[in-house]
Amino acid sequence: MKRMCLTFLLILTLAVPAMGKEITLILDWFPNVDHIPLYVAQQKGYFDEEGLGVKIIPPSESADALKLAAAGRAELGISYEPQALVAASEGIPLLVVGRLIGHPLSTVLYIEGRGIEKPQDLNGKPMGYTVAGMEDVLAKAFCELNEVTDYDLVHVEFAIVPSLVSGRVDSVMGGFRNYEVVELELKGYKPGYFALEEHGFPDYDELVVVANPTFAKKNPEAIRSIRKALSRATEYTLKNPKEALAVYLKAVPESDEKLEKLAFEKTLPFYAESQILDAERWRTFADFAHKVGLIERPVDVEPLLWKD
């Protein structure tokens, strides 16, 4: 579902696959409800109607989607706006061609009833973070923006819920407002969180579709078809949530149905409203990312975004 390593070992001389009817799409994480429009497009035949056979593959690690797309080893991948900007800042060839989740799911997560009601209450309390080089940078930015001056950062990796429940940390930067919130609720806790876009961060796309730029430029009709099918599937998901969830659960039968249903309810407001890649919105977040040290060099977002 989330968060990838920031050190990329890429073999950029590998050949870009020739265009054909079959498209490989690598997920950012294991299949989850964030990906429901992809499964709707696949299972309801929207990709087929566009003349494309799209194979959806989970990665072996969360960095694989962006790495494989950048290296030309997969046609498409699912990644995150912050990671795409990091890659662009490091000179990694990439093109963002679509959107899946249009607003941040990442939050500063905590458990209510433990003395935290506003960001300033984080003073004097250990704060966990997930991905080193990403979430620790964003944690520091959050603290600077919200008058939190006394804190210790603890790398909890992905043990978010256990670290909160045990009291090892009092909050975690990188907890998602759909999954970890539901996990806490199912354990009998009342979660609280500070939404990043409400506490000084620019709004951004949580999940995006990335492609090798050479492939995309050689096969623009395939990219347009993917975007059209994804837009259609997202519209179906929003209008028919019960049916869309059923499509996903049938396609991914190993899913925890109770968890996924609750997480889906929390995810619905965050699916991308359209496939429009707003350059000004991206530019605002890219400037913020450079200011807080998430990226070392400024990024010109224009070459990074698909233009139709």
Average pLDDT over residues 100-119: 98
Within a domain: residue 139? yes
Instruction: Provide the b/e sequence for 45-59 (b: ≥16 CB within 10 Å).
Output: ebbeebebebebebb
Is the pTM higher than 0.95? The answer reads no
Within a domain: residue 5? no
Average pLDDT over residues 122-136: 95
Residue 64 has what pLDDT? 74
Residue 72 has what pLDDT? 87
The answer on 188 and 48 residing in a single domain is: no
Strand order in the sheet with 22-26: 53-57, 22-26, 76-79, 207-211, 95-101
Secondary structure of residue 211 in the 3-state scheme? strand
The answer on 249 and 288 residing in a single domain is: yes
Longest CA span, the chain? 57
CA angle 124, 289, 299 (to 5 degrees): 165
Quickly state the pLDDT bin for 19 (edges 50, 70, 90).
Answer: very low
The answer on 299 and 209 residing in a single domain is: yes
Count of residues making up the chain? 308
Residue type, 3: R
End-of-domain residue from the set 171, 198, 225: 198
Strand order in the sheet with 151-155: 151-155, 125-129, 171-176, 106-111, 191-195
Give me the number of domains the chain comprises: 2
**Sign (positive/negative) of CA torsion 141, 176, 79, 303?**
negative
Average pLDDT over residues 60-80: 85
pLDDT, mean over the chain: 92
The answer on 73 and 35 residing in a single domain is: yes
Higher pLDDT, 1 or 8: 1
Higher pLDDT, 22 or 79: 79
Quickly state the pLDDT bin for 60 (edges 50, 70, 90).
Answer: confident
Only one residue has tokens 């590998």, namely: 14
Q: Which domain holds residue 262?
A: 22-104+204-304
Average pLDDT over residues 31-47: 97
